[in-house]
Every structure is written in structure tokens, then in C-alpha cells.
Structure 1
């Protein structure tokens, strides 16, 4: 019976899928499977032939394999590897090369024979590539084929570098990279213009020949493409859908990457549900969108025709369910994000007391505060709360080099105008200029350049906070050490990052904490900064009484918004407040027009914020609520 229930629950899925709580558990499990394969082959006196992938997805798998080698004696002496792909052209010693990646993450730490390592050669002349690719295929065949192929997935749906349009019988070859793929790689190369336009990749036909295929994917950034690959029709538009064809394929996901699969996103379409308030709210909002009716106009027939008959039967009639969800949405709307004094707060997102709250806004980068919650920021200040803003990182990697020279030139001219000696500053300027002229993509800036970039972003952050009415004494620059590397890849969080955060929280003793819950940030800084705040609060909650009264509200920024059913506080903005927010964002001039790291959204940050806030308001209106100009959305963190 359990097997039948599972088949019903996964009936939209066209390939076997295993979902783990997080990527750590999933990676460990995949590493264990690889280790078991290696050991079984060793017992038979045979080689284990592995197809390996690069990128962020398999990193923890390789970490676990290294651990198994060092701590449990797993031998790689009988292992032969073939990597999926390599950029072209690419020097193997380059920091961005997959040769460098594989040695740093795996090969330098295990006892694999160097002659057993095969990675496509990015240094070949174009005339030699075709013959090389045939030889690569033949070498795999001579060894009896791949026992196991490990894959990641790109947001275009590519596997290896088999981009949309690839044929299912394609072999190893030179390909042209999709623009989205190059944008995703731009941070590693110091800009998209430095990312190679081509790559050498194993073909889909080559991958299909493996005796076992595991595709791994982590986090919500991959959820949309995973749904297409698992539940969509087979199409060259999404090459990963070809993995529905072989019977030896498995998708290994964390719960975030699996979140858009039907059994998790709309479970009422595939099984009977346990209907708690959260699921009812999500389902009714979904139904409203599906039938294009306001919530209060939904009927029992709508419920029955769209997989929600169980809900209508158990908790209906429909109108009772509708009014309950409608009221919850209405109660999430407030013009008093710090709480309305002397009001009944039993159905409001925030408490009425204390009337004047201490609030701290943690901003991962120097502009996230005004981009993400500039309207609410202004409202809190205007309503008399003791508001603080804490800029967690300097953001000093996200400033153009030309801005550095321009600001130093200004400093030289200004100091000259007041009769100061500028000889030392001019000397430093010339050294900086020479460095910038010779600078390689992603090369770490010299300290002087890093400092100027940090000063630029600091001055902009102060201007933005002042614009919304904050006093200078309530502006805090944390410069958390994990970020201050000068590199796009940051250090791991240390005890000092947490201690600095604890110290600030102890000084302010906030009733409200606002933190970036925008984990789709493509650079990962938001998640790191959020986890530091949570760790600091969890420790303080063990000893400090004030923490029992502190609420933490998550906001989202330039990347995407909370789903409507998740929102617990929606702060409406008037047209004038939208304009004020835009002008606060404009204070960050180094990020305007074209920021250094825009992600895959080419709109300016102020446009993204404005359109995102307007979309939230439209969503509420389409559900039958008031038609506001814009809304900023928040979700309460449950400690």
C-alpha cells in the first residue's frame, strides 16, 4: 500500500528522485555510493571508471571522499576519472580552469594515479579538437565505459556543457556557451566579458552510456529547472530532460531544489493532505490564481475541480475557508511596521508595546537596506522608533576600478585647493593606476584600492541612511572579517564574525531585528550574513533576558520576493513613499546604471525593487484586497 501511495505522489515525475533534508546529507550519501562502487571494483580486481563534474554542486561530495580516504583508508589506486568538460580556450594552471578545480578539491588529497586522470584539454588548437574528442571517447570505451557519471545542472538545463539545442546522441565536442551560462560564471572570471565563449564537453550520448547516472542539485536557484527536467516534456530546449530516457538515472536533490516539484509545491494534486493553516492558506491562494478569481468568490465547484475536494469536504463549505484565509491576508497588512501604539494588536503582525521600539536593520551589503526595505525603513524612522542600521560587509569587491581613480583624483584636487601637500597621495595614485592598468581578471586588489572601494560604498551607505532620516550615531559599519579577503570567493565564517554581531546586539538590545532572508542572492553573502545573525541570537538567547522580547523579520531584496502565502507582514507604500525609496537607492551611485555584479537580471536595482514591490501589491489586489501602489513583504523567523 505504501508503494502505491508513493507512486501516486510521484506520478508527475518522469525520473527517479531522491530528496534529502539538505545538501550535506545528500552529498554524503552520494560519496558513500561512490566509495561502495570503488570498493566493490577493488574486490574484483577491476578499475572503477568515474565521470566527474565541477562547479559548486559536487564540492561537498569531493570533501567527503577526501575524508573517507584520509580517515577511513578509502583507496583510489584503482580509480580512473573522466571529467565532463573544460572551458575553451583555457590554460590548465588558470584559477578558473577545471583542472585547477579538480586538483584543489579532490586529486591533490587522494592517492589517485596521475595517468588515470582525464580532463578535456583547453589548450589545443582548433584544428586538433575533433581528433582529440574522438580519442577521449575511445579512451572511455577502451576502459569498458563509465561505471558512474556524476552530473550537476545549469539553469539553462545543461548537463556538462550540453546547452539547449544539443542532440541526445551527441558525443564529445567543442560547443558554444549559452549567454546565461556565461553570466552565471561571470563572478569567477571578473566579468562576463572574460568568460570563454566555448567549451569542450562530453556529449549527451556519451553520458547515456554510463552504467549509472546521478544528477545532483541544491538550493532554490535550481528548483525551476529541476521541475522542468523531472516533470517536463523531453525537449532539446532543456537538455536535462533527456535523462528521462535511460533507466539508470537518479536525481539527488535537497528539499530546496525539489521545492517546485508537484508533490512538494501543490501536494493536494497528488495525495490526501493533512490540512494545517499554512497549507490551507497556500492552497487557497493557489486556487485563486488558477481560476483567476478573488478569494471570496471561490466556490465549492472550484475546489472540487482543482484537486481540493478533500479540503472542501473536511473544512467547508468553501466560503468559510475563503473568509478565514482572506482575513489572515488582511491582518498581514500594516502601515505600522513597528506596531501601532494604543491599538488592539491581537490581529496585527507587530506588538503595540513598547510604543517606541529599538530596531536594527542588518544589511549584508551597503545598499540592501534601502533596496529591500527602504519604505519600511523610512516608516520606522518617521514613526519615532530608535532605528539602527548595521552594514555587515564593506561591499568593496563591487566597485568599478574607474570609480577608484575618479575619487582619488577628486581627493588630490580638493586637497590642493586648500593648500595641502598631496605628493604622497599623488605617488599612491600613480601606483594604483599602474596596478589597475595591468590587473588580471579577478586579481585581488592591492590594499589601497580595496580601501578606496570600501570608502566609496561607506559614503553611499551613510547618504542613503541619512536620506531616510537616520542619525549618524545609529549607523554601524561591521566589516565582518569573513568578507574582507579582496576575493570574490570569501573565507569561512569564524568566531570573530559571530562575536562582533553579538556585541552589536548587546549594545542595542533590539525589540525588532530585520535581516536579509534573500537566499537566492547569487553570491551567497546574504545567507552567510543571515546565519551569523541567527547564531549570534541563539547564543544570546541562552543568557540575556531582552532576547525573549526580540522578533526577527526576514526581508528580501533585489533577487526575488516571498511567495504571497509566506508573507506575514506586508507594509503598503504610497506613491510618494515609493519615490522616496527610489531616491534613497539613488544615493548608491557606484551601483547605479551597471553594477559590477548584477546577477542575471539586467534591470537596475531600483527598478527591480520598484517592480517587485508593485508585483506584491498586485498579488494582494488580485486576491480581493485593497489596491496599493506597492508593498514590502516580511516573514517572521521562528527561533
Structure 2
């Protein structure tokens, strides 16, 4: 059994958690453990699996594993591969059964789960191919039932599943058991929920290419495993995790059936656990240790809950909503209210680089030096203007030495149709200029055949797509006033796989980021703080910045002695109000200018490949998000603005945790 207590993890922030309360988890119907770092959680799971394998081998028994696909278990498999290569972990006696497979998808397809499992695990360990079992997706419909019943029989013949690894979809599916699945369901063919297909659309270059059906183990099949571990990472899973763990068992959320299992553990990171009551509203669960951070979160929640500005909150409001102990600590609602109002007021500034010649003791940024060196790191070639286009322009207008660094090429987010259009343009241009076209003809043929290909884009196709994104980024940066000399394309190697699944962060990625920081010696770094997906591009790019700063702090501290790190968020999510430490208001004219800067990214307009379930264009999302932040500030009783861009400061020098 895993020892996964959050309190045993050395880098876990427990400021939102109860101290001395015996009923902190009383609303939770499953055993839950939360890690700050999903990588550490994945390693812990891998070591439990390894221990089970060794124990079974010592007894001369086979180890029967139920395995999952998707982004959540990737690091688990990576650690198992490492254990095999470096510590001799033996897979020769392991029998595996995968949860599911897309129907009518050939095994050779790069989007098949057969391909996924071989790429991430089976090709790298000594498992006997005869012991690998994955549902066959590409069989005639009339043979599907017999195939599913044979799959059930093979699991029984192997002695049943010793261990089942699970992820969870946003519909609450485990395997592909979508809402409506029965608790006694067995392996079968099912129809995929629309939201499930939306989440897979990026891997298939559009939802129209995502299969509509799949073969999956049933709920009963999964539930018969002797041990189950479910993994969930990132803010997108927070809502369904809360329902799965705290709400009643229902077929509408198939994962809730796991509440009946006697040996299940749910592993979460901080963001996926955020909606659980003990983290979201701990004052409603039991006594709290009131830190400054928790007070800020609770008072903002109270203001919104009772629909009153902060300065109008009363003692009754506090007492009626589980916060009487907070009121007792501070003596009066008036003292609490004015203190919190002032804190929020001090986050607002029209001078994101600091305002010269003023008292900066109550401002989010320093006044000196008046002209700062700034690096704005943009994971993709459009995150700069989408996420902080107004602040970007204001930093330039206020005379700071601003550099923008596009960390990846963004090439996989360009459609084949756009790349084909540019390739044909280049060929036609060459014809008119008298240059050769043989290679372009080959590229055009590849792009025309791309709907049926099972391999990643060729290097040449990726180059064309990357140049499309590069041209758009330059145009957008120029629009906000940046000189070409301050525009940097880092083309970090981890990204250049031609697939949605990227390589791990490597030394060259860190070196590239570090060299730019050493060159500029910035007073400010702005970076994308999307920590939701441990395998997403934003997270890897942020980790590269963290690692580079850590190295410099140890080896060349003079290069970053005056550096502050500010984190922004992307087009899908904003910082919660209680976490915002710098709020930059935008006027109507600045909102319009930001929109025009986003418009330069034409390849990401009108149906971008990775826009998720939100079908609005990125400029629409960004405007709505910025307007909503301004509305929330106003609802709390602060000044009304057209829009606000929000930032959180990150103290990387000591603990790599938020300043607040």
C-alpha cells in the first residue's frame, strides 16, 4: 500500500489544510491523497507497482496489471521503464490488460492505444508480447461481442487483476465507461460522449477525426481488481473529482462506483483537489488555522457568497458562514473588512513595471530602477498577446527594455490546410522567380495525404508550420511596439516531436532559457503560470524557467540578483481573485488594441486545433476573462474597470512557492 500522506511530502503547502481536526475528510467517500508535485505521485505509484511485481515474482506467480492510457499515467510508465533499465525490474512474469481502445482505429495509427502503450512502456521493458492484451479496435462489428467476452475470459484465466491503474475523464468516465454505464457492465462497445471526443480532438487534428466509439472494460470488470489507484492532475479535473469523491454514487458519474471498492486510492495534485471542501471552503468543514492567505480566500468567498461588497460584511455574515473564529481573532467585522479591502486595492496598478518617484511600499512592483529590463516568456507564439497583451503594450509604452521570448515553435497547432496553402504559395512564387520546386512538390504531396497518415509530420512540414507561427508572432510583437532585436525564438527541443505528446524537459531546453536570462539580466520575468497539466507545453516551459533560475541562483547569482518572477495564465483560466498580486487595468481602447494584436495570429483563428470545448476564438476568451476579473473586483467593492489582466508573483529563490 502506498504511503501517500500529503504531510509526508517535503514540498507540500498545507496552509489551506486543517490542523488538529479529526474530520477533515468527512465529506469524502474514497481514500484521497494529495501531492504538490504530480511527478512525485507518479513515482510513488510506479514503486507500488514495482513492489507488487517483485512480491509476486518471489512467490513464483504472475503479476496481472490493468493499465490505462492518456496523459495522467505517462510518468508512471516512465518510472517503470527507468526501474527496468537502471535497477533490473523484471517484466517477464507480468501479464497486462489495457482498459480500452478506439473502435475502427488500426493498431498502427499513432492515436491508437496499442501504439501509445508500446511507445511509452512495452517497447522499453522485457514483457512477453504474448502477455500483452489490448482490445482489438479494428475488427468487424459482428465479431465485437465475442471479442469482448473473450477478453473477460482471458482476465479470469490470468487470475484476475492484481492492480488496476485508472485515469478519469471530465465526464466522470473510467476506461471509456461514459455516463449511464451500469455498475455490472462488462467489456463492451460503447459510444463516446461528446466532451470525451472534444478532449481528444487535439491528438486527432480536429474533433471530426476522433472516433465515435470505443471498446472498454466494464465497471464490474474494473471493480473486481484487488487494488485500484486513480490518478487525476490539473484544474480541468477539479470539478469532476469533487463530484466523484464527495457526491452520491450515480450512473451519471461512473467513477463514483469506485466508492464501493475496499482498496482504492485517489491521487491528486493541488489543482485537481482544489474543489474538495477541505481545500475549497475548509471553514465550512471544521476549525482552521487562519493564515493570511486563507483569510484572504475566505473573506473574498464570503463577499461573493452573500453578494455584498467587502466593506458591507457584518458580524452576522461571518458567524452564519463558519467564520466566527476568524471574527474572534480580529475583534470586529470592520477591522477585517478594511484590512482586506486595502490589500486588494494595493494589487491594482497601471504601472506593471513600477511607478517612478513614488512611495512603492504599498505597490506590487518596485519603483527602481525606473527603466527595467523585462523578459516576457511565451510558451507558444501567441500566449504573450492573448494572456497579457495589454500589460505587454504598457511596459513598452512606459519605456522599459522589453524582450519577448517564444519558447516553442507552436508548429503542431497549425492545420495541414494552412501549411498546404503556404507551401503552394512558395512553390508558385518559386516558379515565378525561376527557383526549383522538387522538394516543395514532395511536401505538398505529404500534406495532401495527411488525413490518412499514421506518422508525425516530416521535419520540412514542421518547418513550414513553425515559420507560419513565427511570422504571426513577429507581427503581433511589432504591433505593441517591440523592436525586432528584442524578439527571440528559442525553439526548445522538447517540443519538436511532431506529435501532441512531447519529450521530457532536457538539458538543452534549460540551457537555451538560461542563456537568454544571462544575456538580458532582467529585473522582471513574466511567464505562463499554467500548472494544470504536468505534460502540457506551458508546464514544461515554466519548469525550464524554474530550473534555469535555480542554476543561476547557485552559480551566477549576480545575473538575477534583482529579478522578480511574475506569472500570468492562459486563455482557458485566470488566477482566483484571492491569489492575484498584481492587477493591471485596461481601458476600452487598450482592450481593442489587445484584440488587434491577437488578430495577427491568423492560423489560430476560426477553429484553432487545440481550443478544447470552448469554441470561441482566443480573442473572445481573453476579453471575457479580463472583463470578468474586472467585474469581480468591482463586485467586491473596488473601482470599476473595463478589464483587468492578473498576475501572481513567484518567489523562486527559497521555496519556489508563492510570495503570499
TM range (shorter): over 0.9
Structure 1 pair 490–452 and aligned structure 2 pair: CA distance change class (3 A): same
Match of 1:289 in 2: 304
Secondary structure, aligned partner of 2:165: strand
Match of 2:287 in 1: 272
C-alpha displacement at 1:110, in angstroms?
Answer: 3.7
Greater displacement, 241-250 / 193-202: 241-250
Which ranges of structure 2 fall in alignment gaps of 5 or more residues?
A: 1-6, 8-17, 653-660
State the Cα deviation string for residues 453-506 of structure 1 (Å, max 9, x = none).
222222211111111112222222222222233333333333222222222222
Superposed, which structure 2 residues align to 1:121-520 within 5 Å?
Answer: 121-411=136-426, 421-424=433-436, 426-439=437-450, 440-441=452-453, 443-520=455-532
Check if 1:624 corresponds to 2:637: yes
Secondary structure, aligned partner of 1:81: strand
Check if 1:13 corresponds to 2:24: no
Cα distance between partner residues in 2 of 1:372 and 1:453: 22
Secondary structure, aligned partner of 1:159: coil
Check if 1:564 corresponds to 2:542: no
Which ranges of structure 1 fall in alignment gaps of 5 or more residues?
A: none
State the Cα deviation string for residues 389-434 of structure 1 (Å, max 9, x = none).
1112221222222323333444566677xxx63341x444432221
TM superposition score normalised by structure 2: 0.91
Structure 1 pair 31–588 and aligned structure 2 pair: CA distance change class (3 A): closer
Structure 1 pair 230–338 and aligned structure 2 pair: CA distance change class (3 A): same
Query: Out of 607, 616, 621, which is 1:608 matched to?
Result: 621
Structure 1 pair 236–92 and aligned structure 2 pair: CA distance change class (3 A): same
Cα distance between partner residues in 2 of 1:464 and 1:369: 9
State the Cα deviation string for residues 228-248 of structure 1 (Å, max 9, x = none).
110122222211111112333
Structure 1 pair 37–510 and aligned structure 2 pair: CA distance change class (3 A): closer
Secondary structure, aligned partner of 2:346: helix
State the Cα deviation string for residues 513-557 of structure 1 (Å, max 9, x = none).
111112347971111111212222222233242412111111112
Greater displacement, 190-199 / 155-164: 190-199
Match of 1:596 in 2: 609
Cα distance between partner residues in 2 of 1:475 and 1:4: 49
Check if 1:533 corresponds to 2:545: yes
Secondary structure, aligned partner of 2:473: helix
C-alpha displacement at 1:177, in angstroms?
Answer: 0.9
Structure 1 pair 274–93 and aligned structure 2 pair: CA distance change class (3 A): same
C-alpha displacement at 1:595, in angstroms?
Answer: 1.4
Structure 1 pair 518–421 and aligned structure 2 pair: CA distance change class (3 A): same
Secondary structure, aligned partner of 1:634: strand
Cα distance between partner residues in 2 of 1:480 and 1:119: 34
Greater displacement, 10-19 / 436-445: 436-445
Match of 1:58 in 2: 73
Cα distance between partner residues in 1 of 2:48 and 2:473: 49
Query: Out of 32, 41, 50, which is 1:35 matched to?
Result: 50
For the Cα contact (< 8 Å) 2:66–2:98, is it kept in 1? yes
Secondary structure, aligned partner of 2:646: strand
Cα distance between partner residues in 2 of 1:190 and 1:29: 34
C-alpha displacement at 1:601, in angstroms?
Answer: 1.9
Match of 1:583 in 2: 596
C-alpha displacement at 1:43, in angstroms?
Answer: 4.7
Match of 2:113 in 1: 98
Structure 1 pair 496–80 and aligned structure 2 pair: CA distance change class (3 A): closer
Structure 1 pair 541–80 and aligned structure 2 pair: CA distance change class (3 A): closer
Cα distance between partner residues in 2 of 1:273 and 1:503: 45
Cα distance between partner residues in 2 of 1:448 and 1:143: 47
For the Cα contact (< 8 Å) 1:52–1:150, is it kept in 2? yes
Cα distance between partner residues in 2 of 1:4 and 1:502: 40
State the Cα deviation string for residues 170-195 of structure 1 (Å, max 9, x = none).
11110011122122222333332222
Structure 1 pair 121–517 and aligned structure 2 pair: CA distance change class (3 A): same
Coordinate RMSD, CA, aligned: 2.3
State the Cα deviation string for residues 564-586 of structure 1 (Å, max 9, x = none).
00000000011111001001101
Secondary structure, aligned partner of 2:190: strand
TM superposition score normalised by structure 1: 0.94
For the Cα contact (< 8 Å) 2:77–2:121, is it kept in 1? yes
Cα distance between partner residues in 1 of 2:19 and 2:638: 42
C-alpha displacement at 1:24, in angstroms?
Answer: 2.8
Structure 1 pair 167–150 and aligned structure 2 pair: CA distance change class (3 A): same
For the Cα contact (< 8 Å) 1:442–1:488, is it kept in 2? no
Secondary structure, aligned partner of 1:397: helix
Cα distance between partner residues in 1 of 2:59 and 2:438: 69
Instruction: Tell me the matched-pair count.
Output: 634
